[in-house]
Amino acid sequence: LEPMEGVLVMLYTHFDDSIPIKERPRYVTKSNKDGEFTLSNLMQRDYKIFALKDENSNYLFDQISEKIAFTQDTILPSDLTEPSSDTLSKKPHEGITLRLFQKEDKSLRLADYNRGQPRALSFGFSRKPVGNVEIVPFNASFDTSKVWYEVERNIKGDSLVYWLLDDELKNNDTLQVTATYQRTDSLMNLYQTTDTLRMFYQKESSKRSGRGDKNQEDTEEKKPTLAIKTSPTGSILPHQSLSLSFNMPIKAIDTTLIALKNTTDSVSISSFSIAKDTLKPTQYHIKHSWENNTGYALTVLPNAFTNLDGATNDTLIHSFKGADPERYGKIVLDITGTTPDVILDLVDSKDNVIDRKITEEDGKIEFSYIKPGTYKLRFIVDENRNGKWDTGNYLKGVQPERVIIYEEKDTQEIQVKANWEYEISYNLKQ
């Protein structure tokens, strides 16, 4: 919903669906810094209007990277204003709002691949792969009857890491693999293809002394230590997970060496759970109903975790505390007009989504434990009910899903203060 400067606004006297693709406009202007535009000296007739972020300066909508805006309505002679000598008082036509969007790139291909560490074969795709991606090494011997890899995925699903469980594969510096997957052709049809890839890992050169013979300590390989990163630090929200992150998947875990204690009451806690992340095998989550203003200590004794290389952890003691609700604010939103589904985003001053709710009906929605700061409330009218914002498609006549920013007293900003509760009523139909 930000104004766009320097965008072409174009009028056509023909009405074919493909007109902005194959023909240059009859009239054209550019938007100013406020996103406003004026087209003058027009003949009294019907027009079709478009906006175009023209990447190659040819006045045609002919690149996937170009953004377009359109309306199904025809500009009628009655929509045009009469000429006037007082041109400075003229305002742009307030009834025309063009929402610029970029069509989703549906092409599917293998964009990049690398081997950042001996056990990790990484593959990046232009979008989430359709169906399975089959990776098969063919220049190394390994036990094919056993599972030899574990897959890690990012949230979007377009990045895959195949972690090598087999030591023979890991120790081979150069692996040749076949990657079989679905990709699209020039007509955007899916077909199965197989690429042959060379996955090379460059070992780090060993550090050696410049003089004298190496001593016994130099020749002996030190046992690797498994580092554990914990998140969050400091305070934790009531239903937030305490995450443990590792540099590679874990081969074995001994839960008897993991203890959680309520340090405020000096009570050991047995009602916590620990589980592997569903997308990242390099991450585990400890879940518990954390109490406000209560101290906790997680103790992980040596050998609790063993990774694929046999590295084990040292003693870890992580102290943290249940959040103090008086240090946070709360927004209670009474929303109406939620047809169809509505996605509610609480975003910060940099447009990062802090919290997201999805509602199918009118009623109250609560955003709690908000850190003091400046926020906005964003509503996405989820027409297809897929839980995310979808862009438009000009040739199919589909507009991008509508986005609304909550505004009151000419400002979109909501100043959240500690220990404050904000009650907001909002009707999306108004």
Residue whose token pair is 């009239």: 27
Average pLDDT over residues 99-113: 94
Residue 144 identity (one-letter amino acid): T
| Strand ranges in 158-221 using DSSP code E only, listed in sequence order | 159-164, 174-184, 190-200
Exposure string over 45-64, b if 16+ CB within 10 A, otherwise e: eebbbbbbbbeeeeebbeee
pLDDT at 207 over 50: no
CA atoms within 13 A on the CB side of 193: 14
Average model confidence (pLDDT) across the chain: 91
Q: pLDDT digits over 69-88, tens only?
A: 999 899 999 888 877 655 54
pLDDT at 208 over 90: no
Radius of gyration, CA atoms only, the chain:
29
Percentage of residues of the chain with pLDDT beyond 90:
81
Residue 211 binned pLDDT confidence (cut-offs 50, 70, 90) = very low
CA 277 to CA 289: how far, in whole Å?
18
3-class DSSP state of 216: helix
407: phi then psi, degrees, rounded to nearest 5: -140, 140
Q: Provide CB contacts within 8 A for 253, sequence distance 6+.
A: 274, 284, 304, 305, 306
pLDDT at 209 over 50: no
Q: pLDDT digits over 279-306, tens only?
A: 999 999 999 999 999 999 999 999 999 9
Residue 429 pLDDT: 83
Four-residue CA torsion sign, 80, 82, 87, 90? negative
Q: Hey, what are 334's tokens?
A: 């009474």
Residue 64 pLDDT: 85
Residue 83 identity (one-letter amino acid): P
423: phi then psi, degrees, rounded to nearest 5: -105, 125
89 vs 30: which has the higher pLDDT: 30
Q: How many beta carbons lie within 10 A of that of residue 116, not counting itself?
A: 11
Q: Hey, what are 365's tokens?
A: 């929605």
CA 323 to CA 229: how far, in whole Å?
20
Residue 84 pLDDT: 64
* pTM of the predicted model over 0.85: no
pLDDT at 426 over 60: yes
Nearest to 271 by CA among 252, 292, 296, 253: 296
337: phi then psi, degrees, rounded to nearest 5: 80, 30
Residue 222 pLDDT: 66
Residue 418 binned pLDDT confidence (cut-offs 50, 70, 90) = very high
| Strand ranges in 189-328 using DSSP code E only, listed in sequence order | 190-200, 225-226, 229-231, 235-236, 242-245, 250-253, 258-262, 267-269, 273-276, 283-287, 295-300, 305-307, 312-313, 316-322
